Chains A and B, each alone.
Chain A
Amino acid sequence: MKKIDESRRRFLKGTLGIGVGAALTALPRGVRAAAAKDVNVAVMYPTSGSQARFGQMCVNAIKIAVDDINNAGGIKALGGAKLNAIYADIQSETTVTRNQAERLMATGNLAAATGCYVSTYTLVATEVAERYKIPFITGSVADKLTERGFKYTFQVSPKASHFGQLQMEFAAKTAGTGKRVAIIYEDTDYGTATSKGFIDGAKKAGFEIVMTEPYTAKFTDATPLVNKIKAAKPDFLFPVSYITDALLIIRTMKQLNVNAGIFGGGAGYIIPDFYRDMGKDGEYVFSAASWNYDLNCGDVARFAAAYEKKHGEFLNEHAGEAYIMMWVIADSIERAGSTDPQKVRDAMAKTNLTKGPGAAMPGCHVEFNEQGWNRQVHPVILQWQSGQLRTVYPASDSKVKPVWPVPTWDKR
């Protein structure tokens, strides 16, 4: 009896050993790497749900950034430690964002975090980060993000309210004869808030506002709306839209032969899908942006080309920022000489990058003010020219000139 017992114990021990070994080899690479004292950074983007397209582009860019940083020797101050990105899908939902942030920040052993593209989600994630005292760097644009007195939120991008001002300033400078402005916006938070900047900016620039019209983005036909735009006879149209509504409005404008310079409000107007879908009808459409792949700045051209080669489409505004932010994080950890989030935060607050991929925002300079906002940044104006999205304003950031006046539909 005893003998059997013993042999069973040995047998159990053996299987246990094999089991643990198997479990260890089965561990995902990220976790094993983390055990070897690498630097964990949480990367939170929506890669499913309504914003998946945008989130996926950002994650693609971050993967390239992590490879670039690690291939360049990792974090030298930590003996060449590798950056280890922990990806979390926030599913285009605020509650999921909160849960994911809690989960990662409570247990993740993080040096820093980044995300989330959509301001609404970033507002939630940064609240959690503030509580856990983990530095969170973002390219989201909501003014509020860095105006809440938070110590752990850093914003590399221009703020939402700056976009409207710059658009109007640009329109006033290029316009010449045009004076009549129409502002249409989808009637949820996003459109309503952004349109306020447009209305104020238009008044300041001395434009005559001939139409301000909220609309429901869920229409089946843009003709009634475009019919009203036609009747108002604007020289400039400032639409604040999501994506299908934007595409339908522009297509219908062509069909009804409504000619006005179109100044889109970012997002759907400047992703590869826009031109892929609109083809030549997307030509000459302007939009504000917080970044573009042809900026006159550092090695933008290099990493934009690397992305395009790998993914077969150009590096979009937010994905470009996502790439840059990983370098800003790496720079902060380097100077902190530690993975302690508190020390990384203090180093990040003293960021002063003027060269390298980490500085490649418009203005070629990343330096945070005491609120955590990159005070050296400004938005840029882009225009679709021969199928390329080109920066056209301000002149210091651009390689090409804006095409204005825009040819009428029947002359294209």
Chain B
Amino acid sequence: MELSTFLQALITGILMAGIYALVATGLTLIFGVVRIVNFAHGEFVMLGMYVTFWLWKLWGLDPYVSLLITMPLLFCFGVLIQRFLFQPILRAPDLAQIFMTVGLSVILMNVALFLFTADFRSVKVPYGEWAWRLGGVTVLLPRLFAFLGALLLAGVLTLFLTKTDIGKALRAVAQDREVSMLLGINPNRMYLLAVGLGAALAGAAGGLIVPFFYVFPTVGVVFVLIAFVVVILGTLGSVQGALLASLIVGVAESLGILFAGSDLGLVVVFGILVASLIFRPSGLMGSR
């Protein structure tokens, strides 16, 4: 095998990791703080993609510029979801919570199907096909942008969580709800914030994906499956863990396709997941 083929696979894997990280960070944030596994997270991404698509289609707004609209919009959407759908079932048994988020996922998917039909749509931007050729290796620029965007957002989120008072309060609620209440934090507000941020990140992921992927009502499923693997591998609730795990998953998938076969990329990914559940059940960032 030529070296360039291997390098190409490696770079592709790293770039794929960026998108996985964005989807997974939102998911892990919601779980970490609110303790709800959001099975509708893929549909949040789908909504982000449709918002970006329509902004471009109707007003010619560049997908990267429209992040400034998509993210606040999805933030509000997340807040509403938390207030009216998640809040009432916070103390309900796990099963009820699963039904709620799975039901929400099905509803969002079908509403999109009804409103936008099953057509595959895509955004045409001049940079959609830009590529850097370095020797035998090609770097696809929209994917690089998405990767850099993901890094930037993850960095901002980490700073927010560690350096600001609100961020610290958010983490306090995640660590211990009762104690944080003693310290004068209103956990319900923090929950609103967490789900809002998680949804905004999903919206950002959608916006960054649109320049190189198709938009259709069931597109969320494609991304959320991997995101769950990433979140579990990187310890539920840990943002840094999600970043590290998405890198592992992206590279494993890409190299798996190269060495094992194009139908086996996901097999390698899930193989790693199973191995980690056996040897390190609490994930990369877990205590054990």
Contact = CB atoms under 8 A, between A and B. Distances in A.
Q: Which of B5, B122, B263 has the most CB of A within 10 A?
A: B263
Interface stretch (B26-34, B234-242, B254-262): B254-262
B262 A213 contact: yes
B120 A227 contact: no
B129 A257 contact: no
A49 B110 CA distance: 11
Interface in A193-220: 213-216, 218-220
B2 A231 contact: yes
A218 B9 contact: no
Given A223-B140, A227-B9, A255-B131, A243 B120 contact: yes
A215 B226 CA distance: 17
Contacts of A221: 12, 15-16, 143
Contacts of A273: 119-120
Interface string B2-37: 100100110011011001000000000000000000
B262 A224 contact: yes
Interface residues of A, number: 34
B129 A214 contact: no
Nearest to B256: A224
Interface string B129-163: 10101000010100100000000000000000000
B12 A255 contact: no
Contact of A247 (B15, B16, B214): B214
B266 interface: yes
A254 B133 CA distance: 12
26 contacts: A49-B118, A52-B117, A187-B263, A213-B263, A214-B263, A215-B263, A216-B265, A216-B266, A219-B265, A221-B12, A221-B16, A221-B143, A223-B12, A223-B140, A223-B254, A224-B262, A225-B257, A227-B8, A228-B258, A243-B120, A251-B129, A252-B140, A255-B138, A257-B133, A273-B119, A277-B120
Interface residues of B, number: 37
A227 B19 contact: no
Contacts of A133: none
Contacts of A254: 129
B223 A220 contact: yes
A231 B1 contact: yes
Given A221-B12, A230-B5, A247-B214, 15 more contacts: A49-B118, A214-B261, A220-B213, A220-B223, A227-B12, A227-B258, A228-B5, A228-B262, A243-B120, A244-B120, A244-B216, A248-B213, A257-B133, A257-B138, A273-B120
Contacts of A279: 124
B118 A52 contact: yes
Interface string B61-97: 0000000000000000000000000000000000000
A53 interface: yes
Nearest to B118: A52
B183 interface: no
Contacts of B124: 279
B257 A224 contact: yes
Given A50-B118, A224-B12, A257-B133, A216 B263 contact: yes
Given A220-B19, A224-B9, A244 B214 contact: yes
A184 interface: yes
Contacts of A225: 257, 262
A53 B12 contact: no
Contact of A218 (B5, B129, B222): B222
B262 A215 contact: yes
A395 interface: no
Interface in A108-155: none
A59 to B, nearest CB: 15
Of A49, A230, A257, A273, most buried by chain B (CB within 10 Å of CB) is A230
B5 A227 contact: yes
Contacts of B258: 224, 227-228
Interface in B230-283: 253-254, 257-258, 261-263, 265-266
A215 B267 CA distance: 12
A12 interface: no
A256 interface: yes
Contacts of A228: 5, 257-258, 262
A225 B266 CA distance: 13
Nearest to A186: B263
A330 B279 CA distance: 69
A53 B119 contact: yes
Nearest to A256: B138
B243 to A, nearest CB: 18
Interface string A165-188: 000000000000000000010010
A245 B234 CA distance: 29
Interface in A47-99: 49-50, 52-53
A164 B61 CA distance: 44
A76 B110 CA distance: 46
B1 A216 contact: no
Interface in A9-54: 49-50, 52-53
A215 B262 CA distance: 5
Most chain A C-beta atoms within 10 Å of own C-beta, residue among B2, B140, B216: B140
Contacts of B5: 227-228, 230-231
Nearest to B113: A48
Given A254-B129, A255-B138, A214 B12 contact: no
Contacts of A230: 5, 8
B211 to A, nearest CB: 11
Q: Which of A221, A244, A277 has the most CB of B within 10 A?
A: A221
A279 B123 CA distance: 12
Contacts of A248: 213-214
A220 B120 contact: no
Contacts of A218: 222
B31 to A, nearest CB: 22
A184 B16 contact: no
A224 B140 contact: no
Nearest to B121: A277
Interface string A271-289: 0010001010000000000
